Structure 1
Amino acid sequence: MRPLTEGTELLVGRDGELSRLVTWIRDVADGRGRAVLVDGEPGIGKSALVRSACAAAAEAGCQVYWGAGDELGQALPLLPLLDALEITPVTRDPRRDAISELLGGGAVAGKGADLAAAAAEQLIALVDELCQDEPAVLVVDELQWADRTTVAVWSRLARSVRQLPLLLVGVLRPVPRRDDLRSLFRIVGAGERLRLSRLAEPAVLELVAALAGGKPGAELARLADGAAGNPLYLTELVDALARSSRLEVDTAGVVELTGAATPDSLPEAIADRLGFLSESTLGVLRAAALLGVGFSVADLVTVTNSPLAALLPALDEARAAGVLVAAGDDLEFRHPLIRGALYDEMPTAVRIAWHQDAAWALAEAKAPVERVARQLLPMVSTTDSRVPVPAWAVQWLLEVAMALIGQAPVVAVALLRRAVRDTPLDDAVTGALACRLADAYYQLDNIAQAERIACRALDRVRDPDVRVDLHTTVVQCRGRTGRAAEYLAELKHALTRPGLQPRHRAKLLVLIARTHRYIGEMDAARRVATAALDELGPTEDRWATGWALHVLTQVAMSRGEWADALPLFDRAMAIVRGDPALIDLTLQLRINQSVTFGALDRYPDALAAAGQARELADRTGSIARLAQAQSALGRLLLAAGRWDDALAEVEVVPDDRKEPDVVCCDHGVAAIIHFHRGETAAARRHLDVAALYSQHIGDEVVEPLVRARSFAFEHAGAPERALAVLTSVPAGEVTGEDLLGDAARLAAAIGDVRAAAKIEARVGAIGAESAVPHRRALVLYCRGLLERDGTMLLRAADGYRDAGRPLSRAKALEAAAVAFAEARAEDRGSARAAFTHAIDLYSGLDAQWDVARLRALFRSFGIRSGPTVKHRKATRGWDSLTPTESRIAALVVEGLSNPQIAARLYLSPRTVGTHVSHILTKLEVHSRIDIAREAARHQSASG
């Protein structure tokens, strides 16, 4: 735990606010978490209030963690949280070491790696684990200066405080008020917001009396009234008067004012405090101001190039004067305004030169990337564009570029742009800088600028390695913007340049193969990818080999050659596994492998592969791939009949963090389940959300969404329109196997024999000689519907049973029951048996709409008996929990954290968090401790 800062200001006139904070601390000590925002103008006493409450929290046995935003460091992600949780280059704590290594670029340094997002995930998991040790208070002061990633983490923690014994506190000024900061007030709500106003007159006089050592006389009271109730101004004002011996206490204990001149503003009062320091101490403080409000003594030693013994007199004087205070093992300015006064008084040119010298000293000392970058940023943010990037900084940038791009792409763009501009035209250096600059823009999703820079660099760069890297960026950009075909000629021309080695040619061939795949030319993609592998021969190039195999897997999948794709996945994974530079490719391979296993009805393997992709994406912070992995899990769980789990998985990642096609897929999956369960309003809400995103996916067919839209018409009693939705995909044909089965069912239901025959022929072509159970079953199902052959439909149901697809099996049994019921009287026994089995399956899925529909249909056949349907009617209380939620609740009762539960159940912490949130809502309780109490009450009531 980081100790609280010494020198806490007097707290006067804040009894009500302090009482509320202390009450919330008692709540968190009892296991009930809360998120709180404390806001007010600078110097109004926000930090003093929260520090007083934190002292009470420490006495109550809570862990206390305190970090602060900094105006200089707001472009660098997560600094306040890293400081609060004591994550340093050498932490000697495995839970923190991993985060430190990650941000240093040692764990994931590949192209496209989002190190800040990865670290954010691990920070959230760390907070979860720390809260399992003891209740915790986590404060982020000066939140208005925090970077957006820190604010996003704060926001996620605020949404999960019901699951943790955590008091999360944000302290901020009214301005600047960014959009992401405004959203925090909506999350927290008015009940957990403390807005500190100026002190009332009685409190002002009480504070002045405490500071001055006696009751203020009339003149001192008048002067204090001009401080507008601001405690910091009052403190600085009284201290300035005391330093100049202008305060006298008379025999009655009244403090009188002598003399004339007094500071008439807070900046002037602070300047007065600094004016009493020696010049040598001011020099040390100016160097400290370069490092921020808080700083390590080790960094100060580095940037001043002075031994600690030489600095100690100045540091002692600054602490005695109330300028610096201790903050754990570090030091910090007593208030940001004091540090700001020192920093702003330096001329801009002097300040920038000092920053450059500090950056060089830190780089030489092998300081973390973000600390060096922080010192270089003022150089590129100045309006004086003549300030050049030093030669040493250019070399440093080249060495750390990938880690800096992954951690802070905005900072990387700022520094690389200036370095490209200032570096003499040197092919190797300039080309490499431009290449990294294009990568940084791509990371920021500025596709147009990334492509422009890469193309411009290609015009003058000759180094083949750099050229291939630039071509890769252009291909990625063109692929994202749907213009991949335009670049084929340029790539083919690049193959003709002299001096290319086999690995260069192989990489260019891979880019050509990927381009053919982008534009749907699968034969060419397969041919060129194979040529790339042949070009490599025995040459070891993991990037080219891995991507070539990836293209071959995609071609096989697009053609339905699922079994042929599996050995290609195995080869590719053996090549890319463990390579930090190929994390994104590894994720794509795992996700596609899970889809392939699912297409082959190998659901345990499919779920395992998707889970591995999810874990890797979560750990490395790849939100886009995490969303894809979660979406793949949702579709697999839908097909496998684990619908409650599917609903949880598809809502784990917020929609605004997903690609539009993934949003549409996820809401399609959810809508299908809700329609089957008779929850029409919920289903239509999902369709409405999907409609907002579907306009951004063009002609792409998202099968779950198509199925859900068709189902909406079927629910509304319009089967013809439902069939039209399924048959209106591009080229006028249904292409997906699940869509084909539904289309065949609807065509048979409305008596459209021509459509049914066409679908049956299409299915026959897909399933001919297939060894995959569900494909063989689909052929039997469509043929059985067309021929109204109950026996064939029962065989289809058996095939779906072997495939592990309960919904499809229930549909086949339903169709068989109808065929038998419409046939001969002697088949009524077969009809009843198939009907009963279908009802059992629908009931097991909690598909109450299907149960009701099927019962109504068979009443018309005179078949009224059937099993008593047991389904989950409760929406609140213990009986409303799904099987997965029940298992998770039991582990919560055991005291396990979300990460621990995730490891036990092979889920992700995010998924567990979603389930815990559902449990809290269903049990109508507010904390994990309440879950344990509710469990004991439930167990007692059930005997």
Structure 2
Amino acid sequence: MGTGTLSGRTPLLDRHRERAELDGLLGDVRSGRGRALVLRGEAGVGKSALLHHTVGRAADMRVVRTVVAESEMELAFAGLHLLLAPLLDRIDTLPGPQRDALAVAFGLRGGDAPDRFMIGLAVLTLLADAAEERALLCVIDDAQWLDQSSAQVLAFVARRLLAEPVGLIFAAREPGSHFHGLGDLEVRGLAKRDAQALLRSVVRFPLDERIRDRILAETDGNPLALMELPRGLSPAQLAGGFGLVEAQAVPARVEEGFRRRLVELPAETRSFMLVAAAEPTGDPELIRCAAEHLGVPATAVRPAEADGLLEIGTWLRFRHPLVRSAVYSAASSAERREAHGALAEATDPVSDPERRAWHRAHAALEADESVAGELERLAGRAQVRGGIAAAAAFLRRATDLTPDPARRGARALAAAQAAFDAGAPDMALELLVSAELGPLTELQGAQVAWLRAQVILARKRGGEALEALLEAAGRLAGVDAGQAREAYIDALGSAVFAGRQGPPGLLRTVAEAARTAPAGPSPARPVDALLDGLVARFTEGLGQGAPRLKSILREFRQEARGNPDDNMRWLWLTYPVAADLWDDGTLRELAEYAVQAAREAGALHFLPQALTYRAAVHVYAGQFDAAATLVEESDAILKVTGNSYFGFAITLLRAWRGGPDAPALIEAAAAAAGTWGEGRAVSQCLYMGALVHNALGRYQEALDYAERACAHEDLGATGFALIELVEAAAYSRAPGAAASALRRLEERCDAAGTDWALGVLARSKALLSDGEEAEALYREAIERLRRSSVAVYVARTHLVYGEWLRRQNRRLDAREHLRTAYEMLDGFGAADFAQRAQRELMATGETVRKRAEGAPGSGLTPQEGQIARLAREGLSNPEIGAQLFLSPRTVEYHLGKVFAKLSISSRQQLAEALPDSGRDRA
């Protein structure tokens, strides 16, 4: 396959499979269905030629395209900005928050740092609006060089294309993790027959058969390599093979071919091309201006144009990204510095200060405080625009150019923090080494130690970071009380995560160390009280710690709406504390406000965690479909961000839903948690294993899982496991195990004092009681649990009460409670518990009728259900889209399917047609 000219007029050889797939994408877009596709393959294999072919077939569409340059990887949103440049005249038509987020990201105006999620919604809206006039095709070549910010946003948009006539095509050598899961089309080398035909079109004289076969083997059918490798070699060199060096990777061979062509060009032309290679925006006027600074006239580009190496139109484009690479790598260091210096002079310091500073940095020969200071100042601007990775790159380069050792150490520390925040722990560790080379203050030295410990904790959320965290906290204690206390909380978190995989008494040991933390700053912060409460909980016991923690949770709950930043910052800790105290009201409000705040702020980095916790609250409330929707949304975001996976909610949902695969899935989740070093996650999975086996009536297996879960005290997990342990022991006739578990459960529930806690305690006591005492306890349990929001435990209490009544030969009374249990559990979708209730109900002599398959709302997908509920509440399509990060057109598409499934024709009918599954507004 020839790569052809820039216009793509050279016919393609073969590629029937690839062309069919690309034509199918164009057909879908023309019919109003959005699609994304990733073309994957090595350099020169023909991806660009396929893009040219596709653009040529899209004459009826509007096409926006860009070729990404490697040097742009550290400039936040650079690739996205280049792609959307032709559409930015529409930015003022966007809804206000979206318009502002995109404008700040592109440096068009100042403002607070926008989140990638809000920028993603803005881009989705912008593309959808542009496609209203004419179907839109977006083409991104060399997508492996996209900066992280652009890659996240574009991958986010690609996953949400549905009812918009928008196509996104990415061509990449090896797509980054952001694009995993999108449509994938691997482009391989040409078949031997087509490769031979292409080689014959380039080499028009006879070749020794061995030389021909060697060329075909080394190029592996790579079209660009086949076309470029023979250039610059004489027939004698080719015929005898003397010009062919030892086997190399195809891109290197291709670059070498381009370099040989460059040697034949005039020196001024090579200089002009070097300036163009160093300035990836492709702005012809900027490049011409910079070239003139070097004394190179604009006419110097003509030989390169004539040779087909580049073309100049609205933008300057190289024939292939490897041409740019060959030009830049062939130049000497001094020549590159001159080119960057000229570009710095030509770049407007007002409209594009970051790019100007970046060129100045690359032009610097030695340490230069003026350049370093400018980079440091612009790093703050880059971070405000949302580019933490760009801020890290700016600060790192500023560190390199700083002459003063003390200032260099401070900048290296700031660069390390930015790199860590940007998800680049290796760079952070490297920069911390640089920071330690210079003189540091006592505070800076302690901060270096803390950040290094945080990197360890982020990589493996077990106890491996404990020693380093405690050391850092001790060093901070003498210089910054507030940071010291936060470091101690990190250490406690590490010990909590480690759980059973840490040494005996680990959590108490860490809590004793945290007790030595200095008093918190004034005015007191809620997190300071949280630290003190946790220390009391883990050193003096639940009885002493619970009153403090309940008071602290009330404070966090009151401030959750008014102080969303604090709620988001500490939810990872306040949520398991609330779960440990069975405080369902606090669980619901903290998670609900966190989701709301994250959505409003577009906090993409935090939203998956908030969604996971909110999903768990939905599970306890019996709202399984709502939980599934949030889990699905969380997973989609994590695929975009690449952040750590949150598996708790999906495992909890699988356990309650049951089904034939549930036991194996829970076992696999426990094994996976063990490999992460998270003992607490192992305990949670063991508790869920007990729950699954209790649902199946396999009480001995449930007892085994529950006893293993309860063998270690884990925050927010042990109490739930004790509930399962009491039930499993009662039904498997293990009175000793049941009595011991009940004593432990009673201590915890009395300390918590909530209706949820006292309800499950009464239920557990009833399982081990007889006669009137048992009946009174069952009734108390149902009454208390009904006052809470944990519907799944209400249903399970009706189930065990009905089973007890049947054993007392009170069949009519048993039927009432078993029927209630069955209807609730079946309605939730708790299949195994529902079957257990069905078996018991049938044993009383009652015939059980399954729920009608066509029950209202039962055929809706989780996302359709969520959209339908929001529409039922009166939200417009744009408002629903803003909440769920979908385009209004996609919302309309889903509502059309909802109406068809519910046999209705308007939003007004949703109130009657859609069952109320609870107050699931998250």
In the superposition, relative to structure 1, how do residues 79 and 600 fare at CA in structure 2: closer, same or farther (>3 Å)? same
SS of structure 1 residue aligned to 2:757: helix
Q: Once the 2 structures are TM-superposed, how far is the Cα of residue 643 of structure 1 from its aligned partner?
A: 0.8
Amino acid at match of 1:795: E
**Unpaired stretches in structure 1, ≥5 consecutive residues:** 1-5, 209-216, 220-225, 241-263, 380-386, 538-543, 917-927
Q: 2:340 aligns with which of 343, 348, 355?
A: 355
Picking from 707, 717, 720, the partner of 2:687 is 707
**Residues 492, 835 of structure 1: alpha-carbon distance in 2 compared, 3 angstrom cutoff:** closer
Name the structure 2 match of 1:633: 614
Q: Residue 641 of structure 1: CA displacement? A: 0.5
Q: 1:730 to 1:352 in 2, by over 3 A?
A: farther
The CA deviation at 1:567 is 4.5
1:251 is matched with which residue? none
- The answer to whether the Cα contact below 8 Å between 1:67 and 1:140 also exists between their aligned partners in 2 is yes
| Pairing 1:173-212 to 2, within 5 Å after superposition | 177-178=173-174, 180=176, 188=183
1:458-537 alignment, distance < 5 Å: 461=439, 463=441, 466=444, 469-470=447-448, 472-474=450-452, 476-477=454-455, 480=458, 482-485=464-467, 488=470, 491-492=473-474, 496=478, 504-512=480-488, 515=491, 519=495, 520=507, 531-533=519-521, 536-537=522-523
Residue in 1 aligned with 2:240? none
Mapped partners of 2:823, 2:645: distance in 1: 32
1:886, CA displacement in angstroms?
4.3
Matched, 1:565 2:534: no
In the other structure, the counterpart of 1:720 is 700
- Residues in 1 aligned to 2:591 and 2:518: alpha-carbon distance in whole angstroms: 30
Distance apart, 1:711 and its partner CA: 3.6
Letter of the 1:815 counterpart = V
Question: Relative to structure 1, is the Cα distance of residues 712 and 166 closer, same or farther in structure 2, using a 3 angstrom cutoff?
Answer: same
- 1:197-596 correspondence runs (5 A): 275=266, 279=268, 284-292=272-280, 294-297=281-284, 299-300=286-287, 303=290, 325=311, 328=314, 330-333=315-318, 335-336=320-321, 339=324, 342-344=327-329, 346-356=331-341, 358-359=343-344, 362=347, 364-365=349-350, 367=352, 369=354, 372-373=357-358, 376=361, 387-401=365-379, 420=399, 423-427=402-406, 429-443=407-421, 450=428, 454=432, 457=435, 461=439, 463=441, 466=444, 469-470=447-448, 472-474=450-452, 476-477=454-455, 480=458, 482-485=464-467, 488=470, 491-492=473-474, 496=478, 504-512=480-488, 515=491, 519=495, 520=507, 531-533=519-521, 536-537=522-523, 545=525, 548=528, 551=531, 559-561=545-547, 563-569=550-556, 585=569
In the TM superposition, residue 774 of structure 1 has moved relative to its aligned partner by 0.8
Tell me how far apart the structure 1 counterparts of residues 755 and 416 of structure 2 sit (CA, whole Å). 48
Tell me how far 1:822 sits from its aligned partner. Answer: 2.7
Residues 593, 726 of structure 1: alpha-carbon distance in 2 compared, 3 angstrom cutoff? closer
What per-residue deviation string (whole Å, max 9, x for no partner) do you get for residues 472-521 of structure 1?
Answer: 4245346556343556466545555xxx6xxx444445545654665545
Aligned partners of 1:479 and 1:515 also within 8 Å: no
Cα 1:649/1:369, change in 2 over 3 Å: same
- Cα distance change on mapping 1:812 and 1:682 into 2, 3 Å: closer
Deviation at 1:446, TM superposition (A): 6.5
Q: CA deviation at 1:785?
A: 1.5
CA–CA distance in structure 1, aligned partners of residues 411 and 378 of structure 2: 11
Query: What whole-Å deviation, never above 9, does each CA across 1:41-81 have from its counterpart, x for those lacking one?
Result: 8778754653454355352xx44221212243345565433
Partner of 1:57: 58
Once the two structures are superposed, what CA deviation does each residue of 1:368-406 show, in whole Å capped at 9, x if it has no partner?
536744774698xxxxxxx53433232123224456689
* Matching residue of 1:86: 85
Question: Counterpart in 2 of 1:758?
Answer: 740
Alignment correspondent of 2:235: none
Q: What residue is the counterpart of 1:831 in the other structure?
A: 814
Residue matched to 1:143 = 143
> Matched residues in 2 for 1:334 and 1:448: separation?
35
Counterparts of 1:830 and 1:201 in 2: how far apart (Å)?
81
Equivalence for 1:252: none
Cα distance in 2 between the residues matched to 1:405 and 1:201: 48
User: Which residue of structure 2 lines up, in the alignment, with residue 697 of structure 1?
Assistant: 677
Question: Residue 810 in 1 paired to residue 795 in 2?
Answer: yes
For 1:661 and 1:709, the matched residues in 2 are separated by 23
Given that 1:759 and 1:782 are in contact with CA atoms closer than 8 Å, whether structure 2 keeps it comes out as no
C-alpha contact (below 8 Å) 1:77/1:150 kept by paired residues: yes
The aligned residue for residue 101 of structure 2 is 98
Change (3 A) 1:147 1:304: same
AA aligned opposite 2:838: R
Deviation at 1:812, TM superposition (A): 1.1
Q: CA deviation at 1:448?
A: 7.8
1:36–1:193 Cα contact (<8 Å) kept: no
* Local SS of the residue matching 1:745: helix
Partner residue of 2:784 out of 799, 814, 818: 799
1:754 shift after superposition: 2.6
Q: Secondary structure at the match of 1:85?
A: helix
Relative distance call for 1:58 and 1:929 in structure 2 (3 A) is farther
Query: What fraction of aligned residue pairs are identical, expressed as a percent?
Result: 21
SS of structure 1 residue aligned to 2:741: helix
Q: CA deviation at 1:805?
A: 1.6
Take 2:399 and 2:319, find their aligned partners in 1: how far apart are those partners? Answer: 40
Q: How well do the aligned residues superpose, as a CA RMSD in angstroms?
A: 5.6
Cα deviation, residue 443, structure 1: 3.8
How has the CA–CA distance of structure 1 residues 76 and 899 changed in structure 2, closer, same or farther, with 3 Å as cutoff? farther
What residue is the counterpart of 1:847 in the other structure? 830
Alpha-carbon offset, residue 631 of structure 1: 1.9
Q: Structure 1 residues 869, 139: closer, same or farther in 2, change over 3 A? A: same
**CA spacing shift, 1:160–1:203, aligned 2, 3 Å:** farther
- Alpha-carbon shift at residue 840 of structure 1 (Å): 1.9
Does structure 2 retain, via aligned residues, the 8 Å contact 1:388–1:422? Answer: yes
Secondary structure of the residue aligned to 2:633 is coil
How far is the alpha carbon of 1:136 from its aligned partner? 2.5
Which amino acid in the other structure matches residue 391 of structure 1? E
- Paired letter, 2:372: V
Q: Is the 8 A contact 1:199 1:231 kept in 2?
A: no
The answer to whether the 8 A contact 2:722-2:741 is kept is yes
Cα pair 1:794 1:813 within 8 Å, conserved = no
- State the one-letter code of the partner of 1:171: A
Distance 1:327 1:91, change over 3 A: farther
The equivalent residue for 2:584 is 600
- Map residues 736-751 of structure 1 onto 2, 5 A cutoff: 736-751=718-733
CA displacement, residues 656-708 of structure 1 (integer Å, 9 cap, x when unaligned): 88999964423421321331xxx212552354255223321343255652232
Partner of 2:660 in structure 1? 680
Partner of 2:918: none
Shift of 1:139: 0.8
* Contact 1:820 1:831 survives alignment (8 Å): yes
Tell me the alpha carbon deviations over residues 573-625 of structure 1, each in whole angstroms, 9 at most, x when there is no partner: 699657xxx897376589679969982335763452242254268x2431xx3
Residue 335 of structure 1: how far off its partner (Å): 4.8
- Measure, in 1, the Cα distance between the counterparts of 2:530 and 2:130: 40
Separation (CA, whole Å) in 2 of partners of 1:659 and 1:560? 37
- Residue 450 to residue 50, structure 1, CA distance change in 2 (3 Å): closer
Q: Is the CA contact 1:120–1:149 (under 8 Å) kept in the aligned structure 2?
A: no
TM (normalized to structure 1)?
Answer: 0.71
Q: Are 1:783 and 2:765 an aligned pair?
A: yes
Bigger mean CA offset, 512-521 vs 803-812: 512-521
Distance verdict in 2 for CA 1:661–1:711, change over 3 Å: farther
| Alignment CA distance shift 1:25-1:574 (3 Å) | closer
